[in-house]
Amino acid sequence: MDWLTILVTTVEAAVGVETVVYALAALGVNIQFGYSGLLNFGQAAFLGVAGYGLAVIVSTFGLPFWLGIVVGLASVVVFAFLLGVPTLKLRADYLAIVTIAAAEIVRLIFRSVAFKDVFGGSDGRRAFSGTFYDMNPFPPGQYGIGPFGFSERVLWVLVLGWFLVGISCLAIYLLMKSPWGRVLKAIREDEDAVRSLGKNVFSYKMQALILGGVVGCFGGFVYALAFASVQPDVFGTELTFYAYTIVILGGAARVFGPVLGASIFWVLLVLVGNTLSEAVSAGYITFMTTTQVGPVRFMLVGLGLILLLVFRPQGIFGDKREIALDAR
């Protein structure tokens, strides 16, 4: 068995592109679900709308990169607004139903034949990240320590990605210890109480939905740029559910919970997956083929998460006292 490869891929997964993308998606979910109690099950669509906004502007219409970023961001805000207007006045479950359906609609539009000229059907879009890599300050080469390392392209993506994670965390930290954050947390606990104290609950929920969508959509940009392509099926519902898993793993309503959660989630997936496939190819495991390793690692990680929820329901960063309150 090649332990070095396992070690290297695992360590790289801790800070890799997937971790950044999911950390950003989960940071957004944490604002909505963790702090405000909004069940947005359409987070994948926020990433998709941003990624496609950029891709379509640049590759379909041949317009400048920065315009693509602006259009991506603006589309996310509009999308959040459209989702919020009919649902935020209703009970929490309606938002969940509407957002999950809306996210699927968005994905199906992206891959539809009718709009193939614009969105590229199931192949998606590519050739829009040239400007981004032209801005890369790192000369070509391999960067890292010892066996760990990234190419200059990946490094550039990671530097920018972690910068986005950093400023998102800083913004969330500042907001959540302010009176604004207090209103959000209060809404999560009981909307009517907050209304009776003169706060416009609808407006705050809308702000939370938009902010969470914008933070999440950074993940969409990072994904699109890192892989220099967008495909509709990347933005399926699993992405949203992994983001929720990550939030709960890290501890809901904790600033760094989603970041740590994303790291652990991907480390576990990569570690379990690579160890299994190495063991299969080395002949230690005989009841499984290498193609079965993919699904099995998800089963094992899922099992691990179930155990975590049983023994540490508040997540890694969570406060046990808060969980105890739910039983009252």
Partner 1 sequence: MHAEPIGFKAKAQAAFAGLESEPGVRKPDPILVVDKVVRRFGGLTAVDVDHVEIQRGSITALIGPNGAGKTTFFNQLTGFDTADAGEWTFNGARLNGVPAHKVARRGMVRTFQLTKALSKLTVLENMRLGAQGQKGENFFRAFVQSIWRGQEDAITERAEQLLERFKLDKKRDDFAGSLSGGQRKLLEMARALMVEPELVMLDEPMAGVNPALTQSLLGHVKDLRDQGMTVLFVEHDMDMVRDISDWVIVMAQGAVIAEGPPDTIMSDSRVIDAYLGAHHDAPLSQEEAELQLQAAEAELEEEAGIEHAEPTEPNEPAEPAEPAAASEEKKEASA
30 binds partner 1 (CB under 8 A): no
Q: Supply the minimum distance, in Å, between the C-beta of residue 194 and partner 1.
A: 7
193 binds partner 1 (CB under 8 A): yes
Closest to partner 1 by CB, 229 vs 314, is: 314
Q: Supply the minimum distance, in Å, between the C-beta of residue 172 and partner 1.
A: 11
Contacting range for partner 1; rule: CB under 8 A; set: 73-81, 123-131, 193-201, 222-230: 193-201
Residue choice 179, 283, 287, 311 for contact with partner 1 (CB under 8 A):
179
90 binds partner 1 (CB under 8 A): no
Say if CB 237 and CB 104 are below 8 A apart: yes
185 binds partner 1 (CB under 8 A): yes
Measure the CA angle with vertex 197, ends 192 and 198; round to 5°.
100
Contacting range for partner 1; rule: CB under 8 A; set: 126-134, 191-199, 275-283, 285-293: 191-199
Residue choice 4, 114, 134, 196 for contact with partner 1 (CB under 8 A):
196
Residue choice 123, 190, 233, 238 for contact with partner 1 (CB under 8 A):
190
Give residues in contact with partner 1 (CB under 8 A).
Answer: 171, 174-175, 178-183, 185-186, 188-190, 192-201, 207, 211, 321-322, 325, 328
